[in-house]
Amino acid sequence: MIDLNYYSPEEEILNPLFNQKEVKVFVKRDDLIHPFISGNKWRKLKYSLRNARETNKNHLVTFGGAYSNHLLATAAAAAKFGFSSTGFVRGETVENDLLMLCRLFGMKLIFTERGIYKDKQKLFDDHFRDDHNSYFIDEGGAGLLAVEGCTELISELENSYNHLFCACGTGTTAAGILQGISQNHLNMQVHAVPVLKNGEFIRDEIQKYNENLSEFTLHTEYHFRGYAKSTPELINFIHTFSASTGILLDPVYTGKSFFALYDLISKDHFEKGSKILAIHTGGLFGILGMAKKFNELI
């Protein structure tokens, strides 16, 4: 059986700002699910792993950038559940700590020129067409099975909330969260924070899986200049947050979504008495290797 016996509690965090604005804020600790198969990456992978096992595949093939949490999660999950794995890495050959961990978990890395990388199905077919043991997992674990896994974040909630916050890369996690809310007949406003510039496309992505977007708000102004970019303001926020809660955030995803939450609270975006749940989607590996950038500022 492919499963993790994980623990993702809902934990209240405190701040004078929350008292002043009369809101309560909780964090869903998906970062505690697993150190490397972390957060939403476990939820997004789970049903693909099961499907691979049920169809007797023993080799997982997936795709990602050189700092992709999804590559690392797939490598660790493959090792844990007895698959071999190959990762196509976008762009020229590089070395970093994340890719080293992928290798330690037995993943074979194939660096792939950007033009060729674009057509993932063709890459898979060219390398593994005759190998019936190989299982294709899209970049970031996208797709219907990934959305289904993310709905469980909602069905396992122990408390009710008025608002829910999450960071978005592709929007798959947010799509699953919205679907989970509608399946469970809950009444919650979902706030999604794209970490890329021009994040409006997330709305289309979410619409593929959800007809009714009346409970959904996209906050596109918190990308901090773009994917994997940051500013001193963001790093200072991460520092203050981590030092006052004991919970780490990364600058690529969760730093931006939690910043957005604090900023909107300070601007009276939420009615008094609101209970807000911020999803900690994990991905803490993103702060390693950033010592230089951080140390200049904190």
Ligand X SMILES: *Cc1c(COP(=O)(O)O)cnc(C)c1O
Interface with ligand X by CB under 6 A: which residues?
A: 39-41, 69, 140, 167-173, 253-254, 281-283
* Beta carbon nearer to ligand X, 33 or 264: 33
Report in angstroms the alpha-carbon separations of 10 from 29, 112, 191, 289.
6, 40, 17, 29
Of 60 and 153, the one with the shorter C-beta distance to ligand X is: 153
Q: Measured from the CB of residue 172, what is the shortest distance to ligand X in angstroms? A: 4
Rounded distance between C-alpha atoms, residue 41 and residue 170, angstroms: 12
Residue nearest to ligand X (CB): 283
- Decide whether 161 or 165 has the Cβ nearer to ligand X: 165
Supply the minimum distance, in Å, between the C-beta of residue 33 and ligand X: 11
Q: How far is the CB of 1 from ligand X (least distance, A)?
A: 25
136-175 in b/e form (b: 16+ CB < 10 A) is bbbbbbbeebbbbbbbebbeebeeebbbbbbbbbbbbbbb
Min. distance of Cβ 182 from ligand X in angstroms?
18
Give CA angle at 143 (141, 144), nearest 5°.
125
Identify which of residues 173 and 274 has a Cβ nearer to ligand X in the complex.
173
User: Closest by alpha carbon to 98, among 8, 38, 164?
Assistant: 38
Q: What's the min distance (Å) between Cβ of 232 and ligand X?
A: 21
**Nearer CB in complex with ligand X: 2/175:** 175
Would you state the structure tokens that stand for residue 118, as one six-digit string? 């674009």
